[in-house]
Structure 1
Amino acid sequence: MIERNKETLIKANEAVKNGDNEGFLAYCTQDVKWTFVGERVLEGKEAVRQYMAVNYIKPPQFDVKELIGENDYVTAIGNITLEDQNGKPTHYSYCDFWRFHKGKMAELMAFVIETGDLEEF
């Protein structure tokens, strides 16, 4: 189960990298919940879809450094670069805790820190 969940997350991330937000959402439960700690909470696929449409205008570039699995959870640690509407890139380091339910991504708790020019993880 742990390896299958890791594979699911890898495939979902590939979809995002390729600009396929709907492909990513296919790996999520209908009632998926994203919590960006200290920022906002998105509830349901439609809320995530809308977030992605605004924030992933250009597919994000990310580098997963570590994937750690335990029971129904996978933790991903890495770096991500997002471009704003003017094409200005912003660099972040992140730690994502994903909970899976019946093989799909059901909940995300994301700790994201803007790194600017600082050395990333």
Structure 2
Amino acid sequence: MTESNKQILQRANEAIARGDYEGFLAECTEDTKWEFLGDRTLQGKEAVRQYMAEVYNEPPKFKVNQLIAEGNYVTAIGQITLKNENGQIVDYDYCDVWRFTNGKMAELKAFVIERK
């Protein structure tokens, strides 16, 4: 089960890197919940879709340093690079904790810090 969840997350991240946001969303539950600690919480696929349209002006670049899986959870630790609304490249360190339900990504707790 754990390896399967890692593979699902890797496939979903590959979709985002290609700009295939619908491919990513296909790996999520309908009621997926994303909590960016200290920032905002998104509830449901439509909210995530709108977030991606707003924030991912172009596909983000990921570097995953570690994937740690246990039971229904996968934790990803790495860096992500995004282009902000002003067209500037911004680098972040992140730790994403994903909860899976029936082979789908059901919940995310994201710890994201801008690199200075």
TM-score normalised by L of structure 2: 0.98
What is the aligned partner in structure 2 of residue 119 from structure 1?
none
Same amino acid, percent of matched pairs: 62
Once the two structures are superposed, residues 47-103 of structure 1 have per-residue CA deviations (whole angstroms, 9 ceiling, x without a partner) of 000000010110000100000000000000000000013321000000000000000
Distance 2:95 2:29 in 1: 21
Residues 71-86 of structure 1: matches in 2 within 5 Å? 71-86=71-86
What is the aligned partner in structure 2 of residue 44 from structure 1?
44
Residues 35-114 of structure 1: matches in 2 within 5 Å? 35-114=35-114
Distance 2:20 2:53 in 1: 11
Query: Are 1:7 and 2:1 an aligned pair?
Result: no
Distance 1:37 1:88 in 2: 23
Task: Report the number of matched residues.
Answer: 116
Q: Which runs of 4+ in 1 moved over 3 A?
A: none
Which consecutive unaligned segments of at least 5 residues does structure 1 have? Answer: 117-121
Alignment RMSD, CA only?
0.6
Distance 1:69 1:79 in 2: 18
Which residue identity does 1:23 align to in structure 2?
G
TM-score normalised by L of structure 1: 0.94
3-state SS, counterpart of residue 59 of structure 2: coil
